[in-house]
Chains A and B, each alone.
Chain A
Amino acid sequence: MKLSSFTDKKYIDLRAPAAGKTDVIASMVKLLGGSRQVRDADAFLQDVLAREELVTTGVGYGVAFPHAKSDAVSGVVFAFARTVEGVDFGALDGSPVRLVFLIGAPKVQEPSRVYLNLMARLSFLMKDEGNRANLLSAESTQEVFSLLDSVK
């Protein structure tokens, strides 16, 4: 599974403004709104925020994975944002978030499996402190892609 195949350089933002959690998610949904996988950005945003309401996706160590299965999405896709300053995601460890992966998938079953695989691998990648440091210091989207594809 090549992680970079589920995103595009257009969906990577290394200088996202440090607004609130909802604003960060909304700006990322807007990025993906230009993709062929997201048919209705507004509906997708509502689905992501509804999932976020259940339990925060701020898993700790400065990383969050807002996500949703949505009828507004036709294929598995993700965006990445690195915020200028930490954002309060209500994370499990209380720490502010700077690394955000927004993941979308359709509701049908088989793509859903791909989506869970993708989240598991991104989560695995971000458990490593060195990988997080590399993302925090990356100066280009190419560096981000290289890191993403370092995990099988």
Chain B
Amino acid sequence: MRVTLPRRRPRGGTSGSTGLKVREYMTSDVVTVGRTANVAQIASLLREHRITGVPVVDDERRLLGIVTHEELINIFVPHYLSMFDDLAFLDDLSGIEAQTMAEIEPSLFLAEDVMVEGPVTVRPETSILKVAALLTNKKLVLIPVVDDGNRLVGVINRSDVSCALAGATPKEPE
């Protein structure tokens, strides 16, 4: 499994929210996986780096898709439960809970299998406000940032955007 580790890009230091661009707030050194990473490996990465999702890239860093906690959870939560707003009537889910990762072969579920293909992407020059609208309207947790060749150059998430819009002090580079 190929993994690259994150390092925060130094912030641009722009104050206020007008005219803010993705490049100033995105994480440029991103944790990524290849298409053969399995779901157990991906889940470990998400926990280790305290991130909500990982882009899936090829050997030339072209974006193939994205895997978030939601995709990992969806493997196990029966699709029909999404039809109910209130699950209070379901007292006993033990039969379903038994089908956890401990009982399922993780190597059967690769990034290739679970990733969202063709995810929403933005460019470094995209405005933060547009990203904010995309995150909320489409209920996304992070958005890959790509160049003209669809190569991954960063990711931007809800925390980045709320900090940018709220004028929070930029986080120091890690």
Q: Which residues of A contact B (CB under 8 A)?
A: 1, 51, 54-55, 57, 59-60, 65, 67, 69, 92, 107, 109-110, 113-114, 116-117, 119-121, 123-124, 127, 152
Contacts and interface: CB of A to CB of B under 8 A. Distances in A.
15 contacts: A1-B78, A1-B79, A51-B113, A54-B112, A57-B108, A109-B116, A116-B75, A116-B113, A116-B114, A117-B78, A119-B75, A119-B109, A120-B99, A121-B99, A124-B103
Q: How large is the interface on B (under 10, 10 to 19, 20 to 34, 35 or more residues)?
A: 20 to 34
Contacts of B114: 116
B117 A114 contact: no
A60 B104 CA distance: 12
A111 to B, nearest CB: 9
Contact of B103 (A69, A110, A127): A127
B162 interface: no
A60 B74 contact: no
Contacts of A92: 105, 107
B112 A51 contact: yes
Given A124-B103, A127-B104, A152-B96, A114 B79 contact: yes
A120 B78 CA distance: 10
B105 A113 contact: no
Contact of B108 (A110, A123, A152): A123
Given A55-B36, A113-B74, A114-B79, A123 B113 contact: no
Interface string B57-100: 00000000000000000111111101000000000000110110
B110 interface: yes
Nearest to B112: A54
A56 to B, nearest CB: 8
Contacts of B80: 1
B152 to A, nearest CB: 20
